[in-house]
Amino acid sequence: MKVTKAQAQENRDHIVETASTLFRERGYDGVGVAELMATAGFTHGGFYKHFRSKADLMDEAAACGISQNLTSNTGLDPAAFVEQYLSRGHRDSRSSGCTIAALSGDTARQSADIKATFADGIENTIASFQDQSAKESELDQTQRRATMISTYAHVVGALILSRACPDDSPLADEILDVCRKEILREQHDR
């Protein structure tokens, strides 16, 4: 049975979305092509009809996850973003949470293409919050950008550290709570 171009594109999109979820949950090395394709509902042999390599899929999956994260954060003011981002719910939802926090460590050891995808995603995230901040702040553009970079680095780092602790560890929650309060205090003081 011949697959239409539209169906082939839908299949490819489904594989990318499945990969994005699995990679965030287990890292790039924690998911093999055969398992990924089975989870997506396809045979292992069909992988190379859609992608040249796992690295190509990793790059597309990262872009997909970052785009989903940006869409879900659109319209949030910086304080609401910090509250949501440094919540226990977000910490515990790695597979649907922030791609940057879930995969930055893995990405640092990947190709320049994947690193460029992450750099674009980081830039777009910073820009989206910088634009939102412009409506609420008298800081000049350079100061707003520096503030957004600092805030983003702080929330991502806090989430990574919290996730590195056992799930039932009081430290996991303490990291989220302390960093959330400190960031919100800094935002309020500006």
CA 59 from chain centre, in angstroms, equals: 13
79 in a structural domain? yes
Q: Tell me whether residue 109 is in a domain.
A: yes
Sorted by sequence, the CB contacts under 8 Å of residue 126 that are 6+ apart come out as 145, 148, 149, 152
User: In this structure, is residue 28 part of a structural domain?
Assistant: no
Query: What's the rounded mean pLDDT across residues 73-85?
Result: 88
In a domain, 15, yes or no: no
Question: What mean pLDDT comes out for the span 139-149?
Answer: 85
User: In the chain, how many domains are there?
Assistant: 1
Domain at 162, CATH number: 1.10.357.10
Q: What is the mean pLDDT of residues 77-93?
A: 93
Q: What is the percent of the chain where pLDDT is above 70?
A: 94
62 token code pair:
């990262």
Percent of the chain surpassing pLDDT 90: 75
If one counts every other C-beta atom within 10 angstroms of the C-beta of residue 138, the result is: 8
Helix (H, G, I), strand (E, B) or coil at 98: coil
List the domain range (segments joined by +) for residue 123: 54-189
The kind and range of the H/E element at 52 are: none
